[in-house]
Amino acid sequence: MIKGQTFIDRFEAYCPQWLAETGDPVGLHVGTLNKPIERVMMALDVRPEVVTEAIEKAIDLIVVKHPPIFRPVARLSADDPQEKMLMDLIKHDIAVYAAHTNMDIIDDGLNDWFCEVLGIEADTFLHQTHQIKMKKLAVFVPVDQASQIRRVLAEAGAGQQGAYKNTSYSLIGTGRFVPQDHAHPAIGAAGKEAQVQEAKIEVIFPETITDKVVDAMIQAHPYEEPAYDLYTLDNLTAHYGIGRVGQLPAPMPVQEFVARIKQVFDLDALRIILPNQPKEQIQRIAICGGSGQSFYTDALKAKADVYITGDVTYHIAHDMQANGLIGIDPGHHIEALCIPRFIEKFNQWKAEENWSVTFIPATTSTNPFQYK
């Protein structure tokens, strides 16, 4: 078995907390990650019915899209269903970890998956959320320890460049040093010059994880005092944003595209906002999962024909209509697409790491709406 923290370390290398929007309560909500885990559930929401399912299936950890504690909890009473839900999680030692807007923002994340299933070729994000400077770490390590250090750096989140991960550069050279009398060298002896064939390993990473990367390197390094350099890269800045904008392969009537959305997400109905003179053919599409109505002006700036998002209010719908933007509101629950996609990724990591963990999709529907 592995500990919950081991799994979450791998999860956060892919979906880091620092990418969440300011104030978003991502991370551990209930329980502890410092325990062995055998069964992990992926869910969209933590609702009383989902907790019942987790108890029945002997789940150790729930990974969820929507944070269950979005506002401070003033008290815990078993007479309140919401509060009893939290008590049941604690009673049955079920930890809950939430990834919210960071799941929307990451490359190869939820908004990219929406584009994929709808046949949209995304070319940019909808609204920029982060502009992060990149740093480079250069560390010198004996050649026979280099692969271990590269692995540790990758696990800490270094070496992620766009669609590529575990990127690094190595150069072989000779390291020289003389240990003093009070030293405890891993190689050589006090007072005698030592020469070691070393690899210089270089990796880049966002400045937001500098401490994590450096600490991981120092902990894994065989030397008592590792030699390393840190650089801020002025020629490389990482840009991140929420939502996506892209093109359909060919123009199509809006009603045909609406039918595609209903089929892909298995919807009985959805809401459409049509301008007084809607376009006969659409091709450029903006999309943001969840409640993204505040970004409709970004969809206009991106020259989108259609903006897809959930929870559009009456007055914002009027504004979209007046600006000639077609709005499609398929609801918030389409974000359930994260469940099968993350189960697939979890099992991929399981195979790579040789974990003894079972990953289970939540099967309880948490969509509160029905159409009659």
User: What angle is formed at CA 338 by the lines to CA 334 and CA 339, rounded to 5 degrees?
Assistant: 105
Predicted local confidence at residue 215, as pLDDT: 97
Query: How many Å apart are CA 43 and CA 190, to the nearest integer?
Result: 57
CATH, range 105-128+241-333: 3.40.1390.30
- 3-state helix, strand and coil shares in percent for the chain, rounded to the nearest 5: 35, 30, 35
CA 230 to chain centroid, in Å, comes to: 26
- pLDDT for residue 82: 93
Listed ranges 147-156, 185-194, 270-279, 303-312; the one with the highest mean pLDDT? 303-312
pLDDT of residue 193: 86
State both tokens at 53.
Answer: 């399912």
The pLDDT assigned to 372 comes to 86
Which two tokens mark 159? 């070496």
Integer-rounded Cα Rg, in Å, for the chain is 25
Please say whether the structural domain 2-102+336-361 has been given the CATH code 3.40.1390.30.
Answer: yes
3-state per-residue secondary structure call for 211-231 = HHHHHHHHHHCCCCCCEEEEE
* Mean pLDDT of all residues in 314-319: 98
Among 26, 27, 34, residue whose Cα is nearest residue 6? 34
What does the pLDDT look like over 198-246, one tens digit per residue? 999 999 999 999 999 999 999 999 998 899 999 999 988 889 999 999 9
The domain locations on the chain are: 2-102+336-361, 105-128+241-333, 131-239
Whole-prediction pTM: 0.86
Q: What's the sign of the alpha-carbon dihedral 151, 156, 160, 165?
A: positive
Nearest to 61 by CA among 299, 367, 360, 363: 360
Which amino acid appears at position 95 of this protein?
Answer: A
CATH number of 131-239: 3.30.70.120
DSSP string of 55-92, one letter each residue: HHTT-SEEEESS-S-SS------TTSHHHHHHHHHHHT
Q: Report the candidate in 244, 222, 254 with the shortest Cα–Cα distance to residue 324.
A: 254
For the chain, report the end-to-end CA distance as a whole number of angstroms. Answer: 47
Q: How many CB atoms lie within 10 A of CB 29?
A: 19
Is the predicted pLDDT of residue 162 greater than 80, yes or no? Answer: no
Residues 12-45: pLDDT tens digits?
989 999 999 999 999 999 999 999 999 999 999 9
Residue 323 per-residue DSSP state: T
Q: Provide the percentage of residues in the chain whose pLDDT is more than 90.
A: 86
Alpha helices (runs of H) in the chain, residue ranges in sequence order? 4-14, 48-56, 81-91, 101-105, 110-118, 146-155, 210-220, 254-264, 296-301, 314-322, 338-353
2-102+336-361 and 131-239: identical CATH topology: no
Q: CA dist 71 to 19, 23, 75, 86, 188, Å?
A: 20, 11, 12, 13, 57
Average pLDDT of every residue of the chain: 95
With tokens 């060919």, the residue in question is: 250
Q: How confident is the model at residue 270 (pLDDT cuts 50, 70, 90)?
A: very high
> Cα separation of 44 and 55, whole Å?
17
Q: What are phi and psi of 323, to 5 degrees?
A: -90, 5
* pLDDT value, residue 224: 87
Q: How far apart are CA 27 and CA 229, in angstroms?
A: 31
Tokens of 71: 């506002």
Per-residue pLDDT band for 181 (boundaries 50, 70, 90) equals confident
For residue range 46-55, what is the model confidence (pLDDT) as tens digits? Answer: 999 999 999 9
pLDDT of residue 179: 84
Q: Are strands 282-288 and 227-252 parallel, antiparallel or unpaired?
A: antiparallel
